[in-house]
Chains A and B, each alone.
Chain A
Amino acid sequence: MIHSRMNVPCRNHTAMTVEISELEEKARRIRELVIRTVHHAGVGHVGGPLSMADVMAALYFRILRLRPDEPNWEVRDRFILSKGHSTSAWYAALAERGFFPVEHLKQMYRLNSPLQGHPDMKKTAGVDMSSGSLGQGLSAGIGMAIGAAHKGQDFRVFVLQGDGECDEGQVWEAALYGGHHQIRNLVLIIDCNRLQQTGRIESTLNLDPLDEKLRAFRWTVLECNGNQMSDLLPTLERARDLSAEGPVAVVSHTVKGHGVSFAADRVEWHAKTITDDLARQALEELGAADVNW
């Protein structure tokens, strides 16, 4: 299922290696911030943010066209987190990219905070669409891509959605629409971490073969290991380039809770309090220089 693509786009091999290691460090840093944020809040989702951290690093430090000091720049690339419950990883990426101070992460989930438990476009710089009720992100992304085409703008739209989220009927309404109309400049990334809140995907509602389903809906489908930057980055670059012709889906195979041994591939770590001891262990495993902020 997971296949490595050998034909990486033309690029100096040494430069590529450096770039990959820089992005791996960003992903590591995002995971570290997710653990600190959820530990500090005393509540929160853990597994989902950890599975998607690499995608956040690649998008926010290489793929997306952004101006952190001008978050509403009209032709910025759009990013929608359809799996809104995993937003601590998005907040971490936005903070690392300079949209707001890392210090703000300590306020997540608190009353009067700009960082809500699910993304709120009216409260958080860099958030282009509110989400939290699953299954809506792809529809919103299609609308943004239509708006871009109508206005003659060349920005791209990236939507990150969960695999469990594919249970929602609206996902397939949107997939049907996107394929039928061959919506351009739209990339759907599906974070396939193989777990949903109460069990495994295959024992809840089996999605296999997800790639064939999407192809049958007339999407171009790429697959990669979403926790391996050397595979993920070139796949996202290729998806970005191919989206000029029509909608592209990236089936990104990941491990829920990736990078933290006690949470990896464990259903109970969908959302859970991280105790002081476990936070210390997780941060050590993630190579954090200091367990304190």
Chain B
Amino acid sequence: MSIGDRIAPRVAFGEAITELGRASSDVVVLDADVSTSTMTCIFRDAFPDRFYNVGIAEQHMFTMAAGIASTGLIPFVSTFACFATRRAADQIHISIAYTGLNVKINGAYGGVAVGQAGATHQAFEDLAIMRAIPNMVVLDLCDAVETRAAVFAAADYDGPVYLRTVRCEVPVIFDEAYDFEIGRGYVLRDGSDVAIVSSGMMTPKALDAAAQLESLGISARVLHYPTLKPFDRGPLVRAAHEIGRFVTIENHSVIGGLGSTVAEVLAEEKPSHVRRLGMQDSFGESGDDEAFLTKYGMNTQHIVQAARELAKE
């Protein structure tokens, strides 16, 4: 794959766990009857003996994964982010996080991008829920390159990890030299007037916004945070001292996710001007992904507008 290719991270996830399964027979995959959506069907077809379709039973699935992990295997557990984190929140909390068992959770279809399925399937609070659970590493993944790297990094890490992937195609922004590490924030573009902080599928939009701002005479730094927890304070605090003006953009509610994390860190380290773009404490609805993002103030033009307003202050 090369820069600019449009690849759905869910496909990258399915291929990555299959590659991982080839490397280690300890890797097993569980899915709650949505494997043709989460794309764990790729693993299913390659390793049917290590694939467990539990049926439409998310609560059972997450606790069963904990039991499997307790024997030394590495389960990757997939379902839609909304069902994983809302329906099975207690199972993840008690059976996986409290025990610290080595379970990897794929929250597929994170955020707005669920096709036209609408509010019941849109998880705008999955990162908030996972972030509040002790022991849980929380990843919001961007493109196919980052998703593949994160799958391998999660397998190397001993403990529970939440990997959020999206359904829609996302342009590839990283090349094979990308040095992904859990717990690291990345400066993707330098700038001095305003800092845009993004994660997941919003980072390509943040980069587009920064390019548009440059043509308007505004220099925007882009900070990319694939790991929400543990959060890498360094790049953010440096930007606070050097710039002091932030726009956060996330495929999530502004409550409890990236925007909240940024505001919390800045409040403690270096109070700054912050505008948080994302779902403003509301439920979603059906609609084309891009049209939806535009209606709810989460598209490239909104980043540009917020950055221009901040840069004037």
**A residues apposed to B, CB below 8 Å:** 74, 120-122, 128-133, 135-136, 139-148, 150-151, 153, 169-170, 173-174, 176-177
Contacts and interface: CB of A to CB of B under 8 A. Distances in A.
A210 B84 CA distance: 30
B212 interface: no
B72 A139 contact: no
A151 B72 contact: yes
B91 A144 contact: no
B99 A130 contact: yes
A143 B63 contact: yes
Contacts of B64: 139-140, 142-143, 146, 174, 177
Candidate in B52, B55, B59, B69 with the most chain A CB atoms within 10 angstroms = B59
A141 B91 contact: no
A35 to B, nearest CB: 28
Given A139-B64, A140-B63, A146 B98 contact: no
Contacts of B55: 173, 176-177
Interface in B222-240: none
Interface residues of B, number: 28
B98 A142 contact: no
B57 A173 contact: yes
Contact of A151 (B60, B73, B94, B95): B73
5 closest Cβ pairs, A-B complex? A143-B67, A147-B71, A139-B63, A173-B60, A140-B67
A151 B91 CA distance: 24
B99 A136 contact: no
Contacts of B73: 147, 150-151
A144 B70 contact: yes
B66 interface: yes
A133 B90 contact: yes
Given A130-B94, A174-B60, A176-B55, A147 B100 contact: no
Given A132-B94, A136-B63, A177-B54, A143 B100 contact: no
Contacts of A144: 67-68, 70-71
Contact of A170 (B28, B59, B69, B100): B59
A150 B66 contact: no
Nearest to A155: B71
Contact of A139 (B28, B59, B71, B93): B59
Interface in B42-60: 50, 52, 54-55, 57, 59-60
Contacts of B95: 129-130, 136, 139-140
Contacts of A170: 59-60, 63, 91
Contact of B70 (A135, A143, A174): A143
A173 B62 CA distance: 12
A74 B73 CA distance: 13
Contacts of A141: 67
Nearest to B25: A150
B65 interface: yes
Interface of B: 28, 50, 52, 54-55, 57, 59-61, 63-73, 90-91, 93-95, 98-100
B57 A177 contact: yes
Given A133-B94, A136-B63, 19 more contacts: A129-B99, A130-B98, A133-B93, A136-B59, A136-B94, A139-B59, A140-B63, A140-B95, A143-B65, A143-B68, A143-B71, A144-B67, A144-B68, A150-B28, A153-B71, A173-B60, A174-B60, A177-B60, A177-B64
Nearest to B66: A140
Contacts of A74: 72
A129 B66 CA distance: 9
Contact of A147 (B60, B67, B98): B67
Contacts of B93: 133
A143 B50 contact: no
Contacts of B65: 143
Given A139-B67, A146-B67, A121 B59 contact: no
A121 B66 CA distance: 12
A181 B95 CA distance: 22
Contacts of A143: 63-71
A140 B70 contact: yes
Contacts of B63: 136, 139-140, 143, 170, 174
A133 B68 CA distance: 19
20 contacts: A122-B100, A135-B59, A136-B59, A136-B91, A139-B95, A140-B67, A142-B60, A143-B64, A144-B67, A147-B70, A147-B71, A147-B73, A150-B50, A150-B68, A150-B71, A150-B73, A153-B71, A173-B54, A177-B54, A177-B64
Nearest to A174: B60
Candidate in A141, A144, A173, A177 with the most chain B CB atoms within 10 angstroms = A173
Nearest to B71: A147
A129 B67 contact: yes
Contact of A146 (B52, B72, B91, B100): B52
A277 to B, nearest CB: 37
Contacts of A147: 67-73
